[in-house]
Amino acid sequence: MHIQETLDNSDNKKCMISRNWTPGKMRISALISFGMILVFCSFGVFELYAAYKSIFASFCRNYLLILIICIAAIGILCTWLLTVIPSRWYRYSIAVIFEIFLVLYVLVFFAGVPDRFIESWAAVQGMNPEPEETYAYQLGEMLTFGSGGTAQKYAVTGFSFDEDSSWTTEYYAKMCFLLDQRYEDLVLEFGYDVYAAPQQVLIYVNGNELCNFTVSESGNQTLDIPAEYTQDNGLKLEFAFPNAVSPASRGENGDVRPLALNMHDICIHSKSESEKQFEYQIGELISFTESDIAEKYCLNGFSIEPGNVWTSEKSAEMHFKLTDEYENLVLNFQYGVYAPPQNVEVYANDNLLGSFTAVGDGEQEFDIPGDFINEGKLNLRFALPDAVSPASRGESGDVRLLALNMKNIQIAAQEGEEHGE
C-alpha cells in the first residue's frame, strides 16, 4: 500500500509538471534562455570591439574571440538540450546554465586572461592608476635609453634598461611625464632601430590615438600632439606593438621577450619653440663644416660630427621655417659621395624636385615652386636607396648607411625675383 501511494504521488507530480511545462511553454522558455545567452555574447562582442580599438588590439583579438565563440557554442548547445531533456529537470538545468555563464564570464574577463590584457583593458576604461611617482620633465630635454639612460625614470612598463640598448619587451609600453603646465603645441620626437621588420606601431597620448604606422628600418619619428590630447600638466604616452616577436620563436636564441623597437632617444618640446629653432633667412649659406649650425636644421638621417656631416640612413630630412616673403625658390647644395654610384631623389614637402646620380664630389641645383611650400615651412628630404655601410663592405665596423657627405646648402630666390621681410 505504501509503495502504491508513492507511485501515485510520483505520477501526480509528473502530470502536474506535464501540465505546467507544455511543449509550447518549453519552447518559449528555451527562446528566453537563448535570448539571455545572446545578451551575454553581445556584452562579450562589445568588449571585444572596445579591446580591438584599444592599445592592445592584437592580443585581445586572438584570445577573446576564441573565448567568446566557445561561450556562445556552449550556450547554444545547452539551449538545444533544454528542449529535449525531461521537463522535470528544466528548473535545475536553467539555474546551472546561468551559473556556468556567470562563472565563465568572470573567468574570461577577469581571472582567465593574462595580466597584460587586464592592464590594457583597465587603461582603455580609464581605470589604470598612474604610477606612484611621476617625474617632472623639462620640455626640450633629450632623454636617452639603454643602461643608465635618462629615460628610465619616466618608463612605467614595457622597456628594458639592463643592457646597452633599450628594447621594447612587451606588446605594450608606457611612459609618463609631469610638465610644469598644460601646453597646447607639443611635438614628440624619438629615434629607434627595428627588430623583425615590418613592425606596426600605435601611439596613444592620454588615451587618444596619435598615430598608427609601420616601420621597416631604423629611423626617427616627429609627431605633432594635438591640443585636445593634452590634459592638465600630465602626459601619458602608450605604445602598442601588435607584431612584436621573440628571438626564441624565430629560432635565433633563447630570448622569449616580444621585441619590436630598440629605442635610442625621445624628446618632447614646444612646437612654437621648435619653429624658432628652424628659422631660416632666404639666401643664407649653411656650411656643414660648422656642425652646430647644420644640426639646427637636420631632423633625422644625418650623422653630425665636428666638421663632417654624412647622411647615415636611406632617408635624410632637413626642416626650414622661412622668415622672408618668397615666390619661387632655388635649392643648391654641394656634396661628396661614398661608394658611388649613389642614386638620390630630392623632395620638398613630399613633392619630388628631381633626382640625380652621385659619382663623385659635385653640386646640384633644383627649382622649388612656391606652391610646394606650406605657410613658410619647408621640409627637404633626400631619398638614398643605395646607401651602404662600411661594415657591409668589409672596410670597418661602421654600420651607418652612408651615401652623401654634405658640404653646404642654400635656399635662395629665383633670379629676377625679390624677397623681403
Rounded to whole angstroms, the Cα distance separating 235 from 136 reads 10
Q: Which of 66-80, 145-159, 224-238 has the lowest mean pLDDT?
A: 66-80
Angle at 401 between CA 395 and CA 404, to 5 degrees: 95
Instruction: Measure the CA–CA gap between 372 and 346, rounded to whole angstroms.
Output: 13
Domain ranges of the chain: 2-124, 143-270, 278-413
- For 287-316, write each residue's pLDDT tens digit: 988 766 777 788 778 888 878 899 988 988
With a CB cutoff of 8 Å and minimum separation 6, the contacts of 38 are none
Residues 6+ apart with CB under 8 A from 121: 47, 51, 54, 56, 60, 109
pTM of the model: 0.47
CA dihedral 69, 70, 76, 78 (to 10 degrees): -170
Q: Which among 310, 296, 271, 265 is positioned nearest to 406, based on CA atoms? A: 310
Do 322 and 368 meet the contact criterion of CB atoms below 8 Å apart? no
pLDDT at 149: 85
Cell numbers placing 121: 583593458
Pick the CATH number of 143-270 from 3.90.1150.10, 2.60.120.260, 3.40.50.300, 3.40.50.1860: 2.60.120.260
Span 120-135, pLDDT tens digits: 444 444 434 444 456 7
E-strand ranges in 301-403 read 302-305, 308-311, 315-322, 329-337, 342-348, 351-358, 362-368, 377-383
Q: What is the mean pLDDT of residues 125-147?
A: 67
Cell of 210: 596619435
Q: Per residue in 317-368, pLDDT tens?
A: 888 888 877 789 999 999 999 999 999 999 998 899 999 999 999 999 999 9
Dihedral of alpha carbons 13, 17, 18, 19, sign: positive
| Chain centre to alpha carbon of residue 117 | 17
3 state DSSP class of 23: helix
pLDDT in tens, 177-210: 988 777 767 889 888 889 998 999 999 998 888 9
Model pLDDT, residue 250: 92
Residue 69: name the closest of 118, 30, 122, 108 by CA. Answer: 108
Using DSSP, state whether 47 is helix, strand or coil: helix
Count of C-beta atoms within a 10 Å radius of residue 376: 16
Does the domain spanning 278-413 belong to CATH 2.60.120.260? yes
CA separation for the pair 111, 116 (Å, rounded): 12
Higher pLDDT, 313 or 270: 313
Range in 270-279, 286-295, 370-379 the model is least confident about? 270-279
Say whether 278-413 and 143-270 share the same fold: yes
Question: How many residues are listed for the chain in this entry?
Answer: 421
94-120 pLDDT tens trace:
555 655 665 565 555 544 444 444 444
